[in-house]
Amino acid sequence: MDDRQRCHGILSDLIAFPTVSADSNLDLIAYVANLLEDAGATVEVQQNPDGTKANLFATMGSTDQGGGIVLSGHTDVVPVADQDWTRDPFKMVEVDGNLFGRGTCDMKGFIAATLAKVDVLRDAATKRPIHFAFTYDEEVGCIGAQSLIDLLAARPVRPSIALIGEPTMMQVIEGHKGCCEYTVTFTGAAGHGSAPDRGVNAVEYAVRYINRLMELRQALIDRCPPDSRFDPPHSTINVGSLHGGSAHNVIAARAVLEWEMRPVVPEDHEFVLNDLRDYVGDVLLPDMRRVANWAEIETEIIGEVAGLTPMEHNAARDLMFRLTGANAAQTVPFGTEAGLFQSIGMDAVICGPGSIDQAHKPDEFLSVDQLDSCLTMLDRLAGT
């Protein structure tokens, strides 16, 4: 069996694990762990607090030697519910040179390619360690990767380069914005709709909070760094959903707001959170508590994922230039786990098979040509 056939077989197996973020990935992790252990890797499995999901971190070569390369991918996929698939999303099929299935491009194709090349990577690891980092819950806030980064940061030696194989059509990506997601719960006081002053309408206060977010959105445009390489160039705010109330004639006692921010620079993140903290503490809560002293506004951090900052010196980027033949790196609007690796002093870059335009959609696919290009890149990596 050649490497292409082996890669397609592994990818088919990976797709068959329905690792939607809401569900467990433990069966997939066990499958991958067996493959890597059989190839001679040292495998660590890091479970989440309730034991339903896990990261995998495996090493070929010396586990005590720094300066190695991490090949990183997330194992979770987005849901298929309410999507109009024309085939079984968890059964990979090849049609006209494309491999269809949930997660083929985002991003089990990259994971399958790394596993198909374990033999050549094992041989290359005699010169410098090769690490495999496969995480859970990337799609819902990079939760698994944050735990993995904490684990790596506590070690006396760590890898120096991280390659995150998100779908970029094998283009070299050196930057993306951060992604910060929040859920804000407003607790007011119910009452009859005919006497709104006798209650505290949680929906109304949520709307006032949203209005503040819109003002901050404009302020972020005004704060746009003049040298920004992103599209749009400024930090952004998006209101995702607002739920609250029970009937036309009842004062809403509860409302839940979901929103996100994608900062270009960390200072924008701090600017927005500091402004909202003051607005809630100095304006909204005092107004609410004039009627109901138990009124509350509570913010839950769903995820605060660091962006990947383009750096003048980036060994990971330069390595990918050599491996792919590219001579320029780009930025992308979507978030990844790359910034987390950068946050602990590692050089990070994004480069993987497939198009982000296929991710999260029904009939997601990855072209065979893209997967072949990834396999070729890994062969070149093994030869460096």
* Ramachandran area for residue 163 (φ above 0: left; ψ -120 to 50: alpha; else beta): beta
Whether the link from the prior residue into 232 is cis, omega within 30° of 0, is yes
Annotated active-site residue in 3, 23, 50, 76? 76
Which residue in 297, 257, 255 sits closest to 278, CA to CA? Answer: 297
Residue 241, SS3? Answer: strand
Using CA atoms, how far apart are residues 299 and 289, in angstroms rounded to an integer? 17
Catalytic residue among 138, 166, 181, 268: 138
Cα gap 337→172, rounded to integer Å: 15
Whether the ω angle into residue 107 lies within 30 degrees of 0, i.e. cis, is: yes
CA-CA distance, 198 to 191, in Å (whole number)? 7
What's the CA gap between 210 and 189, in Å, rounded? 20
CA distance 294 to 371: 57
Pull the structure tokens for residue 322: 């050599």
Provide CB contacts within 8 A for 119, sequence distance 6+: 39
Other CB atoms closer than 10 Å to residue 209's CB: what's the count? Answer: 23
Active site residue 372: no
The residue ranges of DSSP E strands in the chain, in sequence order, are: 42-47, 54-60, 69-74, 93-95, 98-100, 130-135, 161-164, 173-176, 179-187, 236-244, 254-262, 296-305, 330-332, 347-350, 365-367
Spatial CB neighbours of 230, under 8 Å, sequence gap ≥ 6: 175, 176, 177, 264, 331, 333
**Residue 68, token pair as written in the block:** 């190695």
Residues with Cβ within 8 Å of 135's Cβ and at least 6 positions away in sequence, in order, are 55, 72, 73, 74, 75, 76, 142, 144, 145, 148, 337
Non-local (6+) Cβ contacts of 231 within 8 A are 331, 333
Annotation marks residue 38 as catalytic: no
Catalytic residues: 76, 138
